[in-house]
Amino acid sequence: MEDYEFVVGQEFPDVKAFRSALKEAAIAQHFELRIIKSDLIRYVAKCASESCPWRIRAVKLPNSPIFTIRSLETTHTCGQNAQNGHHQASVDWIVSFIGERLRDNINYKPKDILQDIHQQYGITIPYKQAWRAKERGLAAIYGSFEEGYYLLPAFCEEIKKTNPGSVAEVFTTGADNRFQRLFLSFYASIRGFLSGCLRVVGMGGIELKSKYRGTLLSATSFDGNGGLFPLAFGVVDVENDDSWMWFLSELHKAIEMNTENMPKLTFLSNRQKGIADAVRRKFPSSRHALCLRQFSETMGKEFKNSRLVHLLWKAAYASTIIAFKERIAEIEEISSEAGKWIQQFPPSQWALVYFDGQRYGHLSSNIDEFNQWILEARELPIIQVIEKIHNKLIAEFEERRSESRSWSSVLAPLLRIRCWKP
């Protein structure tokens, strides 16, 4: 508490610094302030408790912004209560308290703010106040959410100007041109996908945690060495069948603009009917399959049996119909309910032996890996989310470019391992 003690003659750079120090002291020592006089040349305050003698007076030095304490009564008789909240602990004060922490950790949660303030100052503040402070703090660092949407069209134009061939479009609705959707695919991603990636595209969505929510939809593929290769992404106000139909339509346009012959693709996703329907309509020569990782996770939650999940994977990878049926029979023997549950999903959607298309050994998408890229940015304004993805793409592409310079074969390391594996 010695950090919050005052003495006569103590100086402060200006009245703002003095007020801030006084507020800190009042919060830390658990007493409320009552301001008697406050202007540009003097500041007088006392303890809000009528019977308490604590009082302080500071004045501005002539021809200088410096404030100095002229008189001080340091004794408190008010019996401060460390468990109560504090009127001086305003949202602005909380913002200043969490500023550096928030800059270092975007996901600094309101409950953690409450805990840190209580630990350092011994006071309890309302959760809503901490939530508002975090929102205001993020806006101070990254700009407001409203500003992000307002600047988005100009931001997309700048992307197309500095990255020729990129697709960056904002879609609005209503007479007031309210934001509805965003589609973005960088030219390097489109060309890289067409030139050197497997014809497998994972589809998925992740909820944004910003003020206006929404969902980020994404399409990712695998590069020649099996690494994550983001192809396109979009932001929609609501994730539903209509938004997936729109996203697949925009993806089709982006690919079509850069190739004479639309490739036959395999789309991997969870069991959302909207994605399967969109693939059939927008990519009629392509195929849709269930992402086995998400499929097996759903089964694991449903039946709480790791053996069943293991057999599901073996059935999916089976190279003959006989082997597939044997694995399904084992599942039914362990749990007839699990056997009935699997029958909801035609084998042609998830088992290699029945699938009418090419999966290149990939039964699962890499959407979860892509979602990790933006996990920390989900609470930021929309432009910051885009910047996060853009910066990550630059870093990843440069790292892979640098790594590939040391390769001694035209085959990527992962392919060489598969070729020589007995």
Mean pLDDT of the 142-168 span:
90
pLDDT for res 419: 46
Compute the distance between CA of residue 365 and CA of residue 55 in angstroms, rounded to an integer.
67
Cα atoms in the 13 Å half-sphere on the side-chain side of 199: 13
Q: What pLDDT, on the 0 to 100 scale, is given for residue 378?
A: 87
The pTM of this model reads 0.76
Q: What is the dihedral of CA 326, 330, 335, 336, to 10 degrees?
A: 30
pLDDT for 138 equals 83
Q: Highest mean pLDDT range out of 17-21, 124-128, 326-330?
A: 326-330
Higher pLDDT, 253 or 85: 253
- Does 203 score more than 90 pLDDT? yes
pLDDT at residue 24 in the model: 86
Mean pLDDT confidence for 393-409: 85
> Is the confidence at residue 1, as pLDDT, over 80?
no
Using CA atoms of 236, 237, 238, 241 in order, give the dihedral in degrees to the nearest 10.
-40
Alpha carbon distance 162, 368 (integer Å): 29
Query: What are the tens digits of pLDDT across the range 327-381?
Result: 999 999 999 999 999 999 999 989 999 998 888 888 898 888 888 888 878 888 8
- pLDDT tens for residues 76-103? 877 665 555 677 788 888 888 888 888 8
* pLDDT exceeds 90 at position 32: no
258-310 per-position pLDDT tens digit: 998 899 999 999 867 789 899 999 999 999 999 999 899 999 999 999 999 99
Higher pLDDT, 314 or 372: 314
Which residues 6+ apart lie within 8 Å of 114 measured at CB?
124, 125, 127, 130
Distance, CA of 163 to CA of 167 (rounded, Å)? 9
Q: How far apart are CA 154 and CA 168, in angstroms?
A: 10
Residue 84's pLDDT is 59
Share the mean pLDDT of the chain. 88
